[in-house]
Amino acid sequence: MSAAVFALLLGGAGLATAASPAQAADATYKVRCVPPAGGGDPVEGETTAKVTAPATAKVGDEVDVSWETVKPASNNTDLMDIPKDAVQPTGWITVGGGGGELKVVGEKKNPPIPKKAPMQMSTMKGKLKLTKAGKITLTPGKYEVAVTFSFGTFVTKCAPTGEVKGGATIDVSAGSSGGTTNGGTTSGGTTSGGTTTGGTTSGGTTSGGTTSGGTTSGGTTGGGGGQSDFPGKAVEVAFDCGPVVPGGIKTPVTINARKNGGSYDLTVKTAKGAMAAPMALPAGALKPSMAIKLGGADSGTVKVAGPANAEPIPDKAPVSLSDMTGTYKPGKTGKVTLSPDQLTIDVTMAPGATPINVPCKATSSGVSLELDTAAQPGGSGSPSTTGATTAGPGGGLAETGAEDGGGLKALALVAGTVILLGAAVFTFTPWRRLRGTR
């Protein structure tokens, strides 16, 4: 969501202080930030960090060091608000004189950050044990920003692109311990930074409820006589979307066919949405496609695709996948079965932006339709052959799907989680604009 949300990543770093007497110093430097997987290309920006630490201390002291963001690298995007207490930064300060790195961690504490408003991160803090006399320099370096939503936590990692100048200096005098050993690395408390997971989500998976379309098990047989329409039966399909959608998706899928010469025009329906959208979605945000697996006399797959939502979807409004259409041109003569296979959802949160691709593998499926076919020149017939693809005509998300009212509740989760990932891209919109890509 960009979800969130991640403008904050480039938001910059800063430092705060602890003991007295204390001194603070600013460091302004350029960073390169890498968004979460699927969040788009890395971006660059400039941040100003203030490091605060005692001006003087002695060997054996454990001093407080902090990093405060003075100037963030960008504002929040114009796509979504960042909720209160959702942002947690973690930074690493280089300790000069062979002292390694000091890890500093901020609280997950921030005011609500409206669209286009300056990013705000809490002060990162840590403790440094002084083990060597002399001047110890503290220079800010790489940092991470984790943003947590109800449907997951996403981390952007930022690192300097050149030399960092500035930071605090501690004049360490020899103490009773006599100035032994080198600085070592110190920990800065507990952090939720580093690797993040998609978080626990509500809504999880849902079954499609009562299904529409077919009646018999094993699909509907067609192709003989003067019949032109061949309705399929609804089959319950479980999709594994990986970490993007914890628990996956379960929904009834129906494959219907209409004979068109020697080929068949396919229409694939999923269940209607039974869950509110997790956030407002712009027109053109969600576009589904699916691979239909051929069995029996023929083999390979046929791709079907649906149009994106033509109208914006308000927050809390029902969300459904549009009907997906495509053309199956038989490559073999005989009885051919058609079963739902991989589902793909492309999410685009802004005009001209690169879509976020979310693949969902069918871990359990079944035959929705069976046809009596006659081989056609250039038709399917091998595992690597795919039927012609056509995009479905118009139609909005809320109006498509099975007629039974069964819920594709997990779809809302897909929308939310995918959008969240998309946010990673769009949160960096300010830099994309600077580069003239929008």
pLDDT in tens, 95-133: 987 678 999 999 999 999 888 888 789 999 999 999 889
Least confident range from 49-63, 218-232, 259-273, 326-340: namely 218-232
Q: What is the mean pLDDT of residues 411-425?
A: 42
Q: Please state, in angstroms and rounded to a whole number, the distance separating the CA atoms of residues 155 and 424.
A: 9
Measured CA to CA, the distance from residue 288 to residue 397 in angstroms comes to 10
Q: Which residue has the higher pLDDT, 88 or 203?
A: 88
pLDDT score of 377 more than 80: yes
Structure tokens that stand for 273 in this block: 């949405």
- Choose among 280, 171, 235, 206: nearest CA to 370: 235
Average pLDDT (358-381) is 90
Mean pLDDT over residues 392-410, rounded? 35
Question: What pLDDT is recorded for position 405?
Answer: 34
Q: What is the average pLDDT across 74-101?
A: 82
pLDDT over 70 (residue 309): yes
Which is higher by pLDDT, 263 or 418? 263
pTM of the model: 0.45
φ/ψ of residue 240, rounded to 5: -100, 115
Domains of the chain, by residue range, sit at 9-173, 220-409
Helix (H, G, I), strand (E, B) or coil at 61: coil
pLDDT the model gives residue 2: 42
* Cα–Cα distance measured from residue 384 to residue 394, given in angstroms and rounded to the nearest whole number: 30
Question: CB of 358 within 8 A of CB of 241?
Answer: yes
**pLDDT of 369 over the 60 cut:** yes
Residue reference for tokens 């695709």: 305
pLDDT at 250 over 90: no
- Whether the pLDDT of residue 152 is over 70: the answer is no
Distance CA 373, CA 133 (A): 86
The pLDDT value recorded for residue 150 is 62
First to last CA, the chain: 18
Q: Looking at 209-218, 247-256, 417-426, which range is the least confident one?
A: 209-218
The SS3 of residue 9 is helix
Spatial distance between the Cα atoms of 41 and 58, rounded to a whole number of angstroms: 46
Beta-sheet pairing, 249-260 with 229-230: antiparallel
- What value does the mean pLDDT take over residues 243-253? 76
Residue 330 carries which side chain, given as an amino acid letter?
A: P
* Structure-token pair, residue 281: 């979605």
Q: What is the average per-residue pLDDT within 63-85?
A: 81
User: Which residues, other chains included, contact 142 with Cβ-Cβ below 8 Å and sequence gap of 6+?
Assistant: 31, 91, 92, 157, 158, 159, 160
SS3 content of the chain, % helix, strand, coil (to 5): 10, 45, 50
* Mean of per-residue pLDDT scores for the chain: 72
Question: With bands split at pLDDT 50, 70 and 90, how would you rate the model's confidence at 246?
Answer: low
pLDDT of residue 418: 44
Q: What percent of the chain has pLDDT over 70?
A: 64
Band (pLDDT 50/70/90 cuts) for residue 77 is low
Q: Which of these CATH numbers, 2.30.30, 2.60.40, 1.10.357, 1.10.3470, describes 9-173? A: 2.60.40
Average pLDDT of span 300-308: 95
pLDDT above 60 (res 391):
no
